[in-house]
């Protein structure tokens, strides 16, 4: 429950979001790191470096921003959406064993920023790893999930990815 309150506190200041609860399969990237693809991705008219994160696929309810999802919880065939969830234990890399979520703070650097995978499209991978279905999720690096702005170097952020993970999926503080 505290994670849901934490999420709602931040989203309360967000602009132009169309929040919804989706029910079904989704990717949860909260504890994932992100690898730059070398491409760019455009989000609401702004360009960002694109990254890919490998994320476990869960089934249940997830919080979505439909403004980034073509207005629908329904994903294209072979794909899922990356959503936020209130689950506190889920499969995590590198072995994809179920572990409790541990949220940590970090500061973005020139070498490693943060990434936002929330409500972006993911390709379902063909083979499970240790019994866990995975998805490759593509989204922006250094884009604030709260206001869509660029996240500069030196910004305090949070993630459930392990400390030292490159471009961990998460969000930034403070929200402006």
Q: Percentages helix, strand, coil for the chain, rounded to the nearest 5?
A: 5, 45, 45
Largest CA distance in the chain: 41
Is the whole model's pTM more than 0.85, yes or no? Answer: yes
Tell me, what's the pLDDT at 175? Answer: 59
Q: Report yes or no: 55 and 134 within 8 Å, Cβ to Cβ.
A: yes
Joined together, the tokens standing for residue 49 give 């470096």
What integer best gives the mean pLDDT of the chain?
A: 91
Residues 54-69 have a mean pLDDT of 97
Find where tokens 């995590």 sit: 92
Predicted confidence (pLDDT) at residue 16 exceeds the cutoff of 60? yes
Q: How far apart are CA 85 and CA 83, in angstroms?
A: 6
Residues 81-110 have a mean pLDDT of 96
Predicted confidence (pLDDT) at residue 145 exceeds the cutoff of 80? yes
| CA-CA-CA-CA torsion sign (98, 104, 108, 111) | negative
Q: How far apart are CA 160 and CA 150, in angstroms?
A: 21
């Amino acid at each position: 429950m505290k994670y849901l309150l934490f999420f709602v506190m931040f989203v309360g200041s967000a602009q132009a979001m169309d929040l919804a609860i989706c029910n079904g399969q989704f990717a949860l990237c909260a504890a994932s790191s992100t690898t730059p693809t070398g491409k760019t991705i455009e989000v609401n008219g702004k360009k960002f470096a694109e990254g890919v994160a490998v994320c476990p696929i869960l089934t249940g309810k997830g919080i979505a921003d439909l403004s980034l999802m073509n207005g629908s919880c329904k994903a294209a065939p072979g794909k899922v959406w990356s959503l936020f969830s209130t689950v506190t234990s889920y499969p995590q890399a590198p072995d994809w064993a179920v572990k409790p979520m541990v949220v940590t703070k970090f500061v973005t650097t020139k070498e490693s920023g943060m990434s936002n995978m929330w409500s972006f499209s993911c390709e379902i991978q063909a083979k499970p790893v240790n019994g866990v279905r995975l998805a490759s999720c593509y989204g922006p690096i250094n884009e604030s999930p709260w206001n869509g702005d660029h996240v500069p170097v030196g910004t305090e952020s949070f993630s459930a990815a392990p400390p030292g993970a490159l471009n961990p999926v998460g969000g930034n503080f403070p929200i402006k």
